[in-house]
Amino acid sequence: MQHHITRLAHYKCLESVEKSQHDLYLCYCGIQDCYPGHFFGPTTRKDYLVHVVTAGRGIFKTNGKTYNLEAGSLFLICPGVTTYYKADDNDPWSYIWFGFNGLKADELLRHAGLSADSPTNKVPDTTPYINGVTGILDSCQLTFSNEFKREACLYTMAAQLVDDLHETAGNTDEPMYPYQTYVEHTLDYIENNYFNNIKITDIADYIGINRSYLTTCFKKVTNMSPRQYLNEYRMNKAKSLLTGTGIPIHEIATRVGYEDSLAFSKVFKNHTGLSPKAYREKRD
């Protein structure tokens, strides 16, 4: 195996790029095949640093604990925390790493269940992280387009971390947006799908929250449930079609999301006090 500390020119180039307080920004990254017994530390870092072990074995020490790690393991180094890590003497590890910081760095790690007190975990596939770091290094030239390519790779790896580790993070259903945001997404979904046989669980799944929480948000903002709003939206569309067109009632039922015209007629009468036919005749 060819051993190298990192793709040095690429690494140094990226390390000197001016940083800014974005939601998430790259500090440095690299790829390393360690020689037997190679170690780093004890030392501290100024930024967050994630290592993903791609082959071999090693140990990681922090906060008085020692973690034995292997291919598929990852370990997090937090700012200001003293760490030490060492490649196995017989089966030395290889790893990729990427350092980052920014306004959402803490939130990212919280959703991934990583912290100074819980700094290790395992990922099902190291390929996305290898591809991410390789993509960054391949875009090291300081051009305008490469700046976006590097950022895209970093955000892709960040998303992969959350996807890979969210089940162990203990906050898989934790909402992260204001009520109004979820309601606006619900309104948009209904506007574009009311004519289909949709259910409230379909809307919740589309948004990424559970039905119960969606109902809570919706009632807080609109004083009605999503089901009530969907029914009212459909009935308003039906009233418009009944008075403004000559479309048959059974076709109107289909156009507002009802496969069964009898079920549509029942809901419509409950809503208006009139059957669809009577409503049309009254308005003529």
Same structural domain for residues 120 and 261?
no
Same structural domain for residues 191 and 133?
no
The reply to whether 3 falls in a domain is: no
Q: What is the pLDDT of residue 118?
A: 94
Contact at 8 Å (CB) between 113 and 121? yes
Statement: residue 170 has pLDDT above 70: no
For residue 4, what pLDDT band results from cuts at 50, 70 and 90?
A: very low
Statement: residue 13 has pLDDT above 90: no
Same structural domain for residues 97 and 152?
yes
Same structural domain for residues 137 and 205?
no
Statement: residue 21 has pLDDT above 90: no
Of the residues 169, 204, 234, the one at which a domain ends: 169
> pLDDT averaged over the chain?
89
CATH code for the domain of 31 = 2.60.120.280
Q: At what angle do helices 8-15 and 127-138 cross, to 10 degrees?
A: 80
Q: Which of 75, 92, 100 is nearest to 20 (CA)?
A: 100
Statement: residue 82 has pLDDT above 50: yes
Q: What is the pLDDT of residue 177?
A: 78
76-101 burial by CB neighbour count: b if 16+ within 10 A, else e? bbbeebebebbbbeeebbbbbbbbbb
Strands of the sheet with 94-101, listed across from one edge: 25-33, 94-101, 48-55, 73-77, 120-122
Of the residues 169, 196, 213, the one at which a domain ends: 169
Same structural domain for residues 268 and 204?
yes
The reply to whether 215 falls in a domain is: yes
Of the residues 124, 145, 169, the one at which a domain ends: 169
> Which of 43-52, 74-83, 159-168, 263-272 has the lowest average pLDDT?
159-168
* Stretch 169-179: mean pLDDT: 64
The whole domain housing 21 covers 8-169
Statement: residue 15 has pLDDT above 70: no
The reply to whether 277 falls in a domain is: yes
Contact at 8 Å (CB) between 58 and 88? yes
For residue 7, what pLDDT band results from cuts at 50, 70 and 90?
A: very low
- How many domains are contained in the chain? 2
Calculate the alpha carbon distances from 34 to 77, 101, 147, 199, 264 in Å. 18, 26, 29, 54, 69
Contact at 8 Å (CB) between 66 and 102? no
For residue 17, what pLDDT band results from cuts at 50, 70 and 90?
A: low
Same structural domain for residues 150 and 217?
no
